[in-house]
Chain A
Amino acid sequence: MTAVPDIEFRAVTKRYGAVTAVSGIDLAIPPSAFVALLGPSGCGKTTCLRMIGGFEQPSEGQVLIRGRDMAGTPPYRRPVNMVFQQYALFPHLDVEDNISYGLRQARPRLSSREISQRAGEALSMVQLAGYGRRKIHELSGGQQQRVALARALVNKPAVLLLDEPLAALDKKLRTDMQIELQNLQREIGITFVLVTHDQEEALSMSDFVCVMNGGRVVQLGQPSEIYDEPADLFVADFVGKTNLVSGKVAGLSGDLVDVALADGTVISARKRVPLSRGEAVSVSLRPESLSLSAPGSGSLKGIVRNRIFLGSTAEYAIEVPGIGSLLAKADHVIGQGNLFRPGEPVAIGFAAGAPLAFPHAKNNGTNQREDQNAEILS
């Protein structure tokens, strides 16, 4: 715990007029980590990134970079660099001049030999050696992405900020870039802070995921923690696919609660926060934690409505009377023809400890509405 965090937020609040974009965030980003700020549009993640970059000033609280309070420090004096959404490359400069732009700003001045050498290294780092004299508009989206990366990294920043860097790429390229970004981060060893609304991207690339909602940090943890042990209903619902089933607490025993579902079935679930008997709860059931079997066993009974065969797995939409539609995911083993067909009755079981019970959030509905509004706006 002696290491100074690369980025630290202390009670940071940001308001735009009457709108509070970020409210009272405390956050310490450990050094040399790949961190994702994840959340729906309008959750304040981009505002946080822009406060690190110096493009926004916090209304309250402090932003520290490597232990130094950044209040009043303009973007051009901060030891961080940003990869902008849609890259913001300079259209009037060629690739090499774009990359050496930051080096040319350094005071005391760098020798032109050092500038061209470092720009060349940066170009090879992103596998664009030989593209130095190309115009920006002659490059593909993926190549522009690499130029933006090289332009930021060539300055050897303490922290690299990435604002939805993969949003403009097609799926195949995105997957490649995810791996490449991960490798780059390990190679260079500096902190990467990535902003994304894509939970898959956040889980797959980062060492730590910081889930944000409504201007607050809801959970900070490793991807598997976020997925397996979501802090609240929002995280459970936002990260990965899940089934949310409402019920009432019927009994308490240590870490576990018995939840009576709408159809009367009582299932055992783990709880993350204290619950009281009779409280309305939502139970999160991950699709892969549901096991399907022929009728007769299992705790719930339903009828297969749809089957989505995905090769290695198959997803089933199952209609459970009194509860609604549940999504289940089952591994597919070659040669083992145990695929359930639409219309077939099935029994559903759960892996022990898989169901998670959360207090029935009063504001969950409003959150979702806000998200929809934000999406319409953006």
Chain B
Amino acid sequence: MSETGHKPDQDNATGGRKSAGSQPAFPMRRSLFRKNLATALLLAPAALWLVVFLVLPFVAIAIFSVGERAPEGGYQAALTFAQYANLPARATAFWNTMVLAPVGALACLLVAYPVAYYLALRAPQRWRLILLAMIVIPFWTSLLMRTYAWMYILGGRGIPALLAYVGIEDLRLINTPGAVLLGIVYGYLPLMILPIYVSLERLDRRLLEASADLGATPLSTFLGVTLRLSLPGVMTGFSLVMILLLGEYLIPTLLGGGKVFFIGNALVDLFLQSRNWPFGSAIAITLVLVSVVVLIVANRISTRLSGARRVDLI
């Protein structure tokens, strides 16, 4: 029905353009060209940036990953999948990372959600900006500095020393998995809070009233409306933190004592110490693929659960 009704319309449109002749069509095409040119010029810096700093390195790494290690270290041209076959040699690092990333992101989420909820739905309007700023401001200092601070706080002269005053002795905090988790939650919390805050802040408050009006207890309203509609923010925060954690090596090194090996540590080691670039590249490519899979899955989940037409991820 609709197709047959559509066709004559299209014919008319093209016929109309032809019969209108070249004269009126010309200025239109020129203005279109101008518009495209402006768009192209505006996009050029970003495109150039992406090509130079994202696409080219990625291509280089992809080429490295099928190459061989030169005898003196570095890269030597070849076409072999030996590096990929060798991946199980770093299985522990992969395994540790695959545990750390989701667990760290989950810990972050559990701390971040109540904070974001309070900020978006409960905090007095005039305090909101101040509180948000307090969350973001620590980000202005380098993560390295802040993690060093935690080394001191958790170290022998920090909290354990304070606890010793009240009789709790021999407590080890630094160089434990708990310390790593704490460092991760601390370092990545803003990245989790902000997207959740945004999705909760956009939540139509009348939906909460409608839910209560229809007999839902506050808990049912939270589960059935608030949480569901903030899932896009949750998934954004979760995948953002998780992807960054896949490459994390600083926090485990400083707060975990470097005893547990992560992919990030493996990469630093392979590129800088043992100079096995091809193997490092193969690991890096695998990591990128895992990240992409995480993103796609997260996107699927939040689209399905929130019923939204389109979800902005990151």
Question: Which residues of A does B touch, CB under 8 Å?
Answer: 53-55, 74-77, 80-82, 84-86, 88-94, 101-102, 105-106, 135, 137, 151-152, 155
**CB–CB B212/A92 < 8 A:** no
**CB–CB A92/B209 < 8 A:** no
12 contacting pairs across A/B (C-beta < 8 A): A54-B213, A74-B212, A76-B212, A77-B215, A85-B206, A88-B210, A90-B207, A91-B207, A101-B216, A105-B214, A106-B215, A137-B309
**CB–CB A86/B228 < 8 A:** no
Contact A75:B212 (CB < 8 A) given known A92-B228, A92-B307: yes
**CB–CB B211/A91 < 8 A:** no
- B225 contacts the other chain (CB 8 A): yes
Contact A92:B215 (CB < 8 A) given known A82-B210, A84-B209: no
Cβ distance B208 to chain A, nearest Cβ, rounded Å = 9
Cβ distance B79 to chain A, nearest Cβ, rounded Å = 50
Cβ distance A89 to chain B, nearest Cβ, rounded Å = 8
| Residue numbers in A under 8 Å from B206 (CB-CB) | 84-86, 88
**CB–CB A55/B209 < 8 A:** yes
**CB–CB B213/A92 < 8 A:** no
Contact A101:B212 (CB < 8 A) given known A88-B206, A92-B305, A92-B306: no
- Within the complex, which residue of A88, A102, A106, A135 is in contact with B307, where a contact is CB–CB below 8 Å? A135
Cβ distance B226 to chain A, nearest Cβ, rounded Å = 11
- B217 contacts the other chain (CB 8 A): yes
Report the separation of the CA atoms of residues A90 and B210 in the bound assembly, to the nearest whole angstrom.
9
The A-contacting residues of B in range 208-267, CB under 8 angstroms, are: 209-217, 220, 224-225, 228-229
Report the separation of the CA atoms of residues A283 and B306 in the bound assembly, to the nearest whole angstrom.
59
- Residue on A with the closest CB to B221? A76
- B308 contacts the other chain (CB 8 A): yes
**CB–CB B204/A105 < 8 A:** no
- Within the complex, which residue of B207, B213, B220 is in contact with A82, where a contact is CB–CB below 8 Å? B213
Q: How many A-B residue pairs have CB under 8 A?
A: 71
**CB–CB B308/A151 < 8 A:** no
- Residue on B with the closest CB to A53? B213
| Residue numbers in A under 8 Å from B307 (CB-CB) | 91-94, 135
**CB–CB A105/B305 < 8 A:** no
- Residue on B with the closest CB to A92? B307
**CB–CB A92/B210 < 8 A:** no
5 tightest A-B CB contacts, nearest first: A102-B214, A92-B307, A105-B215, A88-B206, A88-B210
Report the separation of the CA atoms of residues A89 and B207 in the bound assembly, to the nearest whole angstrom.
7
| Residue numbers in B under 8 Å from A85 (CB-CB) | 206
Cβ distance B76 to chain A, nearest Cβ, rounded Å = 55
| Residue numbers in B under 8 Å from A53 (CB-CB) | 209, 213
| Residue numbers in A under 8 Å from B220 (CB-CB) | 105
Cβ distance B308 to chain A, nearest Cβ, rounded Å = 7
**CB–CB A76/B229 < 8 A:** no
- Residue on A with the closest CB to B231? A92
Report the separation of the CA atoms of residues A135 and B309 in the bound assembly, to the nearest whole angstrom.
10
- Residue on A with the closest CB to B207? A88
Cβ distance A85 to chain B, nearest Cβ, rounded Å = 8
Contact A101:B209 (CB < 8 A) given known A88-B204, A93-B307, A135-B307: no
Cβ distance A261 to chain B, nearest Cβ, rounded Å = 50
- Residue on A with the closest CB to B229? A92
| Residue numbers in A under 8 Å from B225 (CB-CB) | 90
Report the separation of the CA atoms of residues A76 and B224 in the bound assembly, to the nearest whole angstrom.
14
**CB–CB B214/A151 < 8 A:** yes
| Residue numbers in A under 8 Å from B228 (CB-CB) | 92
